[in-house]
């Protein structure tokens, strides 16, 4: 059986539409791979079935790998269970005053775990605008001090 270019196009469109009903954002990459094979087959009609399937599989898996490795990093994790080592030693700027038994807020130089603004506490009084260093993570609060 020889698949025509429109077979691949219809299959690709159906897979892209199926992504609307399925969670995970995975099926769309197989649909886009099928659409690429349809385009390739329309330009070069003498491609065999084995080559078509191989190109579809390689393109779909490559797109899927790029999606998970580059674009979908786990940047939106919650603070629960986060690695303390990822924030320790980070330098930031206080946006609100902080004092013993009073929460403040700091802005990190680079967003960590999906946020650049973090609630913080300190052992000594620090004014907004001062540079601080993350000394520890206590629950969902960062303990900060002068660098």
CATH code, 137: 2.40.50.140
Predicted pLDDT at 85: 63
> Averaged over 32-44, what is the pLDDT?
96
For residue 83, the model assigns a pLDDT of 57
**Is the same domain home to 53 and 99?**
no
Q: Identify the domain containing residue 128 by its residue range.
A: 84-145
Cα atoms found within 13 Å of the Cα of residue 17, Cβ hemisphere only: 6
Residue-wise pLDDT for 54-84, tens only, equals 999 999 999 999 888 877 665 444 444 455 5
| Strand locations in the chain (E) | 91-96, 104-112, 115-122, 131-138, 141-145
Q: Spell out the residues 6+ positions from residue 99 whose beta carbon is closer than 8 angstroms to its own.
A: 122, 124, 125, 126
| Measured CA distances, 147 to 34, 110, 135 (Å) | 54, 17, 9
Residue pair 90/108 in contact (Cβ under 8 Å)? The answer is yes
The mean pLDDT value for 18-36 works out to 92
Residue 78 is assigned to a structural domain of this protein = no
Q: Crossing angle, helix 27-43 and helix 49-66, to 10 degrees?
A: 140
The torsion angles phi and psi of 103, rounded to 5 degrees, stand at -80, 145
Q: How many domains does the chain have?
A: 2
Tens digits of residue pLDDT in 87-117: 788 889 999 999 888 999 999 887 777 778 8
Residues 88 and 125 both lie in one domain: yes
| Same-domain pairing of 97 and 41 | no
Indicate if 61 and 104 belong to the same structural domain.
Answer: no
**What pLDDT, on the 0 to 100 scale, is given for residue 84?**
57
In this structure, the dihedral spanned by the alpha carbons of residues 30, 35, 36 and 40, taken in order and rounded to 10 degrees, is: 140
């Amino acid at each position: 059986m020889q698949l025509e270019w429109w077979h691949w196009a219809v299959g690709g469109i159906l897979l892209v539409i199926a992504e609307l009903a399925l969670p995970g954002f995975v099926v769309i990459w197989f649909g886009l791979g099928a659409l690429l094979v349809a385009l390739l087959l329309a330009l070069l009609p003498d491609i065999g079935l084995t080559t078509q399937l191989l190109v579809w599989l390689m393109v779909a898996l490559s797109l899927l790998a790029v999606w998970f490795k580059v674009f979908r990093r786990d940047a939106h994790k919650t603070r629960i269970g986060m690695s303390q080592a990822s924030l320790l030693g980070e330098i930031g700027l206080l946006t609100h005053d902080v004092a013993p038994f009073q929460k403040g807020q700091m802005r990190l130089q680079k967003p960590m775990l999906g946020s650049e603004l973090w609630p913080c506490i300190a052992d000594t009084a620090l004014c907004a605008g001062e540079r601080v260093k993350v000394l520890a993570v206590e629950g969902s609060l960062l303990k900060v001090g002068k660098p």
